[in-house]
Amino acid sequence: MKIVVIASGSSGNATYIETKAGVKILIDAGVSYAQIVKRLKNQGITLGSLDAIIISHEHTDHTKSLSVLLEETGATLYINKLSYNNLEAKILNSIEEYPITFIQEEVRYQIKDLMFMPLLLSHDAANTFGFVFENEGKSLGYITDTGVVPLKYLPILARMNVLIIESNHDVEMLMNSRRHWSLKRRILSPYGHLSNQMCSEILRSVISEHTKYVILAHISKECNSYELAYHHNIKNLKDEHQIELLVARQEEELEIITL
């Protein structure tokens, strides 16, 4: 399985997965088609067609390029029905003609040799999913845009080889920022985003001998930094596990991970 985090942050999100059998999918469609093509090409990947675009939730930083990507790639859209119904009207009206599979929490879906299962998260959206993916004994967990991680999912995440997890903000930086109190309260709520501190606690609970890579995602530009998120979380990665800690960026893709 090949994994490329194309972009991650409040301006746009997209992650690419490809299997040995040639299944190609995107998680989220919040980055322009041109940028996705360019960034994948940087990693030696030609986008071409896609089997699926899987949407975590309806916010535009995850969906704004959906119609163009569906048209250009011929992908089937996988999305929860609540998320679909709450897409921006402009996006919703532009994708009605494309094939859609409505997905539900904790149901396993198979796309040739790739299995994925949505995990219900807690965010200020109509519905928000994280995901686990499995292919030929290798696995990826994807957890962003949530104020909490349900305890029942921790054993599942402990089995993942790659974990993409939100480390959105530093609490002190958020509280000292110029953001309105209502926005601060939303971000800190169970329906907001995971802080560096909360991410660190989750990693402490789920890091195991199975974990090979941890990718910190959805880093706030104003209330966090790539360096701060990295240094806050690196202390929870035990040397004996030989885990590589990476930080996903908004401006450029991460290097390809091959399992």
CATH homologous superfamily of 2-258 equals Ribonuclease Z/Hydroxyacylglutathione hydrolase-like (3.60.15.10)
DSSP 126: S
Collapse the DSSP code of 191 into the 3-class scheme (helix H, G, I; strand E, B; otherwise coil) and give the result.
Answer: coil
pLDDT tens column, 108-164: 999 999 999 999 999 999 999 999 999 999 999 999 999 999 999 999 999 999 999
> In what side-by-side order are the strands of the sheet with 129-135?
109-111, 114-120, 129-135, 138-143, 162-166, 213-217, 244-247
> What CA–CA distance (Å, rounded) separates 223 from 12?
17
pLDDT tens column, 17-49: 999 999 999 999 999 999 999 999 999 999 999
Q: What is the pTM of this model?
A: 0.96
Note the residue count of the chain.
Answer: 259
Total Cβ atoms within 10 A of residue 58: 23
Q: Where are the domains of the chain?
A: 2-258
Q: What type of residue is 124?
A: D
